[in-house]
Amino acid sequence: MTMRSTLFISLATLALGVGVTAWAFAGRSTAAGKTRIDAGQAAIVTEMRSLGRLESSSFTIEKIIEADKNQAGRLSDFLFGDKLLLIAHGEVVAGIDMSGLAASDISTIDGKLHLRLPATQILNVSLDDGMTRVYDRTQGLFSRADKDLETEARQAAVRSIREAACDSGILKAASENAAKQIKAMLAGLGFEGAVIEIAQGSC
């Protein structure tokens, strides 16, 4: 069973539990307007938190990184320089950390399920080692290869790829995708019109 399948089943089980609890309290409540789920709420929140990280968007980005250990001038570079070009291929994954869910984030309003989720965030940034490579490296006549230069270039690539994903709107995409996925899943279980609110995330 894949991670996505397991996640879907867990969410389906959770949604069913939320619906049963909400229905039970709807039958007991006579007050109009907002009715909060009290009984069993702790169990619902605990179960939803156990879903961990909900990955809802991923961007694949390629960057060319130049790393140089000597910037004292052409003559110095010719004699002691060490420069490389790194073609970095990476993936940025964004989504929601469900462990941040609080009991107050689950409620029913006029018979509709309201779910307020934590803000989207960058969950992981990684380089594809199979596609990331040193394209070119030049060294001065008297220089020795710096063993840390490629490592530093890779670190710079991770930062650059993350920034590029943020500038391209990965958090907005993650928020929209998460809301659509959860709302569609709940609708399929009979919770039509469920309201999903996701806080604004920032990189």
pLDDT by 10-residue block (mean), the chain, 203 residues: 43 44 37 42 58 87 87 59 88 91 82 87 95 80 73 95 96 94 78 85 88
pLDDT of residue 36: 43
pLDDT of residue 107: 84
pLDDT of residue 167: 96
The amino acid present at 192, given as its one-letter code, is E
Cα–Cα distances (Å) from 59 to 1, 49, 153, 178, in that order, read 24, 25, 20, 15
Q: What angle do CA 122, 126, 127 make, to 5 degrees?
A: 145
pLDDT of residue 82: 75
**Other Cβ atoms within 10 Å of 70 Cβ, number:** 17
The sheet with strand 34-36 has its strands ordered as 34-36, 106-109, 112-117, 195-198
39: which residues sit within 8 A by CB, 6+ positions away? 21, 24, 25
Question: For residues 7 and 179, what is the distance between their CA atoms, to the nearest angstrom?
Answer: 15
